Amino acid sequence: MINVRKVALVFSKDWIEIQRNYQVLLPLLVIPLIFAVMLPLMVIGSTASVPAYASSEGLQTLLRTLPSHVVSEIAGMTGRQAIIYVISVYLFAPIFLTVPIMASSVIASDSFAGEKERRTIEALLATPLSDGEMLLGKMLVSLVPAVLVTVGAFLIYSTLVDHFTLEMFGGGLLFPNVTWMMLIFILSPAIAFADITLTVLISARAKGVKEAQQISALLLVPLIGMVLGQLSGVILLDPSLIIVIATALMAIDAVMFAASVKTFGRDHMLARLT
């Protein structure tokens, strides 16, 4: 039986620790800065020299690789408008998923492997808190800030893109849109949770925070595949694909959560302390 107050207790203790740990706080501030501020500014700045009309041969070749419904969305746009629209609405979508992965990985590895590394886990495991209460508290303290950072980064990103493109698109807003709302509020939490469960599994074996972070970064590999797929026109993150990926991820989450519960047992966590 899991006591919600005890879960909240573990959550609040870890939350205070995170707020005072610059090694965790700094990446949480820098990651959104890179993805939400620097990338859109670079795209908008670098497209200033794109021809006014989508007539150049190179541009036409690039646009031809896009799925037909995207081509129809950009029909009638100028070259610069088309490039900014495609990059900021479609190409950046999978890249943006790096934010919840990196944020959750930084916090979860500190919360799980960090307790082992600093050997504070021994006293924690000696308390009457159940394995489930500790695990859930620690998972939530990794998930909630990761989701908040992702939402915050999205708000900054969409505001910036809208601000710089408002006049260019004749007052029309690029954000928010359905694809990105689903990406931020459905896919991001699912992918962050997958990363957290992976970190729990790794932390049981890893000796320290850095090792746990390095291994959990493996989750970025399928993401890179998705970005390449978007670039080559093989896949496109639209609402229907997001639902498929999110459903598959939730199933994986459930399996990995069950494995995490098993792994987070007192014997497992303490037996591997070296």
Partner 1 sequence: MLACVLSPTGGSARVCGFDVNEEPAKVRQRVGMLTENSSLYERLTAFENLDFFAKAYGVSNKSERTLRIRQVLDFFELWDRRGDKVGCFSKGMKQKLALARALIHKPTVLLLDEPTAGLDPKSAKEVRDTITRLSRNEGCTILLCTHHLEDAESLCSNAVIMNKGKSIAYGTPESLRTKTGGPPILEIVLKKKDSRVTESIRRLLPNEAVMEDGPKMLVSIDDESTTPEIVRCIVQAGGLVLSVRVLKPSLEETYLRLIKQADEE
Q: Cβ of residue 155: shortest distance to partner 1, in angstroms?
A: 29
List residues bridging with 78 in a β-sheet. 53
The residues in 110-129 that bind partner 1, with binding defined as CB under 8 A, are: 118-129
4 lies in the binding site for partner 1 (CB under 8 A):
no
Per-residue x/- mask for partner 1, residues 9 to 38, rule CB under 8 A? x---x--xx--xx-----------------
Is residue 274 involved in binding partner 1 (CB under 8 A)? no
For partner 1, which is the closer residue by CB, 121 or 227? 121
Nearer to partner 1, 14 or 195 (CB): 14
* 145 burial level (CB within 10 Å; 0-12, 13-18, 19+): buried
Q: What Cα–Cα distance (Å) separates residue 239 from each residue in 36, 92, 152, 213?
A: 21, 15, 21, 30
Which has the closest alpha carbon to 134: 250, 24, 266? 266
**What is the distance between the alpha carbons of residues 110 and 107, in angstroms, rounded to a whole number?**
5
Distance CA 158, CA 153 (A): 8
Work out how close the CB of 16 gets to partner 1 at its nearest, in angstroms, rounded to a whole number: 6
Closest to partner 1 by CB, 207 vs 266, is 266
Q: Does 174 bind partner 1 (CB under 8 A)?
A: no
CB 195 within 8 A of CB 143: no
Binding site for partner 1 (CB under 8 A): 5-6, 9, 13, 16-17, 20-21, 118-130, 266-267, 270-271
